Amino acid sequence: MGKFAAEKIRNICLCGHGSSGKTTLAEAMLYKAGATTRLGKVSDGSTVLDYADDEKQRQYSINLSLAYVEHNGVLIQVVDTPGYPDFIGETISGLSAVETAVVVVDTPSGIKVNTRKAWEKATARGLGKLIAITKIDLRPGAFGPLVKSLQETFGGECVPLVVPSGDTVVNLLGGTEVSGELADTKQALVDKVIESDDQLMEKYLEGTQFSDQELSAALSDAVAAGLVVPVIALSSEKDIGISEFMDVLATSSPGAHSPLGRKAIKGEEEIELPAGAPEPFLAQVFKLVSDPYVGKLAYFRVYSGKLGAGSSFYNTRSEKSEKAGNIYKIIGKDQTTVVELCAGEIGALAKVEDIRVSDTMTQGSSGLVLPVIEFPVPMVSLAVNAKSKGDAQKIGVSLNRLAAEDKTFVVEFKQETGELVVTGNSSLHLDVMLGRLKERFGLEVDTKIPRIPYRETITAKSESQYRHKKQTGGRGQFGEVFFRMEPVERGGGLEFVNSIVGGAIPHRFIPAVQKGVKEAMRKGMIAGFPVQDVKVELHYGSFHQVDSDEHSFRIAGKNAFLEGMENAKPVLLEPIADVEITTPSQFMGDITGDLNSRRGRIQGMNSVADMQIILAKVPLAEISSYSTELRSMTGGEASYTLSFSHYDIVPGNVVSQVVERIKAEKEVKA
């Protein structure tokens, strides 16, 4: 492969809904360009890009994959991403490394939930967009209605460029004369391109006629600006429109020299990304992969300058200089060693241990940093325990290695519940990740819904007193304290007030009293959960010159608190989540009714395009498996996010259920 200037490089991310034909399109491009000798099929596990065992078994993409082809003197680098929302992190990683998002829509299914998600993510990053309509051979005549649906959903900038014509397709800017309905379609495209450029519009008004070649060149800028989204008809399996698709990429998609409004950060200042420039060296890691032969591979995109094998670079996160090992160009799992990667190229780096997703690779003197890639917060959690006691120490380390590869897979030990908890985008996502734990590391786990981190507090004022006195011969133990207790604002924790006057308790014993209170607060009286939001005023007490010590006052403080809590109307608190649900309108009634049944409180409703957004506050205990239930309720068309809001009092009828459940768990452990 020869060297390509950045303006001769096209970086695209294939994204969209599951089973829309993204991987098959990439395979068709490889086959058409002569990079492979046969057209791989997802159904028989023969694709180059879905190479992992779990992808072959499930027959859909789970990881992003890389490929590249040469076409008409242009290097087209392809990032193929999964189509199911469960693996949206891979799509975000892929979109962060390219200039153009190719949103893939299959003719039979049309626009689905992840079509919208891919569009939204690409638009948010300011990428140029193309739409590839696949499987046109399966429903002749459906192209026009589908284009209309795209325009209604995403806007009038979606205009046909490569259209069906009999058993083949026609590029409307490919130099072929068209007539009738195709001529009208072409004119609509030409109008959009001309409207996107003031100079073209001025010349057009002066009567200038433009060639297809001139319009194709102008289309590239219109795509980069988001003013035109070309729609391309094709069939990967029938080899219809593949050459035309690659022609469009080569002539009318933004080049790798285009920063597309992206910014680099220098100090506290944002500056335009120096995309395609010969210096300084600037690159970003967008994906980590564990390779069984070369170890950890870091997929990275070079924005400016170049990196040679064996040369050094500076990692702005770790603030360390690192030496580059081997550098590879990637097609699926196949790696080709290269001497260097230049501006605009995508490849992989081996044998750099301290490297993470989002890391900026640069020259120490440049001072440039690329913004961190933002990933969604995962929502679905499971508590895990090693099936074999001997594996307990290995589980955490191995799970963290998986989490380094997938930024939407989080591993955390919850101190408050004593559980190791994994969190992902969905039950399917977690199933895949725990399957990899077994496949790669030979470790199996038992799973369960994580314990809800309940709390306890008081709702009334109380007074209490406790005298600790013990005499067993020789020196005894003595300490007496008097408390006033009252609730404080939610989130207030412990407010300990020392109001002792006149030396009723020597100052040196006060910390021991507070220590006893904190010890008592670790396990409350209702169900053994931590106590919060309490003011404890130590206002009186007594001591013995010989028998009093810190131990005695700690015990007195602990028991005085428990007595005071019992008399202060204790209650159980539960975490409340802010939930935001995005759904098509037809599911609104089902969703709001379901939220009400979960003790949820609707806070508001909004609409964005053709989607409705429901805002609600819902007890966390009621939505621990909401991902699966929402998917079932809406056929996978709705999505949600949640975040912690506050703690609130658990209703009395629910308290008894919680207490019984905790009691049963303790009996099982015993």
Domains, the chain, ranges and CATH?
6-252 (3.40.50.300), 263-369 (2.40.30.10), 383-448 (3.30.70.870), 456-568 (3.30.230.10), 575-654 (3.30.70.240)
Residue 585 or residue 77, greater confidence: 77
Neighbours of 539 (CB within 10 A): 15
In the three-class reduction of DSSP (H, G, I as helix; E, B as strand; rest coil), residue 393 is classed as: helix
Give percent of the chain with pLDDT exceeding 90.
77
List the beta bridge partners of residue 605: 614
Q: What single-letter DSSP state applies at residue 555?
A: H
pLDDT band, residue 228 (cuts 50/70/90): very high
Q: What local confidence, expressed as pLDDT, does residue 628 receive? A: 85
Residue written as tokens 């993204």? Answer: 22
Query: Which parts of 304-350 fold into alpha helices (H)?
Result: none
pLDDT of residue 567: 96
- Angstrom CA distances, 542 to 361, 536, 537, stand at 65, 17, 15
For the packed helices 550-566 and 510-521, what is the interaxial angle rounded to 10 degrees? 50
Task: Write down the pLDDT at residue 669.
Answer: 66
Mode of pairing for the β-strands spanning 360-362 and 282-291: antiparallel
Q: Label residue 595 by pLDDT band (50, 70, 90).
A: very high
Most confident range (mean pLDDT) of 250-264, 503-517, 612-626 is: 503-517
- In the structure, what pLDDT confidence band is assigned to residue 261 with cuts at 50, 70 and 90? confident
* Of 223, 234, 216, 227, the residue nearest 143 (C-alpha): 234
> pTM above 0.75?
yes
Please give the pLDDT value at position 159.
97
Predicted local confidence at residue 125, as pLDDT: 93
Q: What is the DSSP code (8-state) at residue 253?
A: S
Say whether pLDDT at 388 is over 60.
Answer: yes
For strand 534-542 and strand 494-498, is the pairing parallel, antiparallel, or unpaired? parallel
pLDDT at 447 over 80: yes
Alpha carbon distance 107, 20 (integer Å): 8
Looking at mean pLDDT, say which of 88-102, 172-186, 575-589 comes out highest. 88-102
Task: Work out whether the CA dihedral 270, 271, 275, 280 comes out positive or negative.
Answer: negative
The amino acid that residue 611 corresponds to is: M
| Statement: residue 198 has pLDDT above 60 | yes
Q: Does residue 615 carry a pLDDT above 90?
A: yes
Q: Specify whether the CB–CB gap between 466 and 540 falls below 8 A.
A: no
pLDDT for position 662: 83
* 146 compared with 325, residue with greater pLDDT: 146
Binned at pLDDT 50, 70 and 90, residue 319 comes out as: very high
β-strands 360-362, 306-308 pairing: unpaired
Structure tokens given for 9: 């490089």
Band of pLDDT at residue 353, cut at 50, 70 and 90: confident
**Structure confidence at residue 661 (pLDDT):** 86
Alpha carbon distance 249, 9 (integer Å): 10
Residue 177 has pLDDT above 60, yes or no: yes
Q: Which uninterrupted H or E stretch holds 658?
A: helix 652-669
Helix, strand, coil shares, percent, the chain, to 5 = 30, 35, 35
Cα(333)–Cα(331) distance, integer angstroms: 6
- pLDDT at position 131 over 80: yes
Q: Quick check: 294 pLDDT over 90?
A: no
Task: Name residue, tokens 């194709």.
Answer: 216
Mean pLDDT of the region 630-646 = 87
Percent of the chain with pLDDT over 70: 99
At which residue do the structure tokens 């600006």 appear? 225
Q: Report the pLDDT value the prediction gives residue 670, as an integer from 0 to 100.
A: 57
pLDDT of residue 327 exceeding 80, the answer is: yes
Vertex 434 angle, CA 433 and 437, to 5°: 95
Q: Tell me which long-range contacts 499-504 makes (C-beta under 8 A, separation of at least 24).
A: 499/537, 499/538, 499/539, 500/538, 500/539, 500/540, 500/541, 504/540, 504/541, 504/542, 504/543
Give the chain's mean pLDDT.
93
Collapsing DSSP states into helix, strand and coil, what is residue 33? coil
> Mean pLDDT across the stretch 627-655?
89
- pLDDT at position 2: 55
Give the range among 15-24, 260-269, 408-417, 566-575 with minimum mean pLDDT. Answer: 260-269
